[in-house]
Amino acid sequence: MKKEFKLPWRDPSNNNFLSWVYILLFGAWGGIVRYIIDVRAGQISRGLIAVLAQVIISGFTGILAGLLSEGVGAAFHTTLAVCGISGAMGVTALDYYWRRLTERKNGRS
């Protein structure tokens, strides 16, 4: 009997793929919110490149926050909230994560 290989996103019993899509979307959504806040505050001007850059950075920080939340065993809704906040923080969140990582690596806690 031959075992059939199924792609994870085609198997309805596997919700793991969709969970990570939601995490990415919440991070990107946080980036759009940050972009709107910055435009309304007059800190940046409107532009497709600026919003695209913000969404890419925010999606990345959202994924990082999702990995960290999963690592500490947070509930999925908490993970989504942290991803959205990290997405809105963008580069600030990346700086924070980097500082925490390098402090532990250097023996500081």
pLDDT one-digit tens code per residue, 46-89: 889 989 998 999 999 999 999 989 889 999 899 999 999 999 99
Q: What is the rounded distance in angstroms from the CA atom of residue 1 to the CA atom of residue 29?
A: 46
Backbone phi and psi for residue 52, each to the nearest 5 degrees, phi listed first:
-65, -45
The token duo for 102 is: 């390098």
Q: Is the pTM of this model over 0.95?
A: no
pLDDT of residue 104: 67
Q: What is the rounded distance in angstroms from the CA atom of residue 7 to the CA atom of residue 100?
A: 36
pLDDT of residue 19: 86
pLDDT tens sequence across 5-42: 555 555 555 677 788 888 999 999 999 999 999 899 98
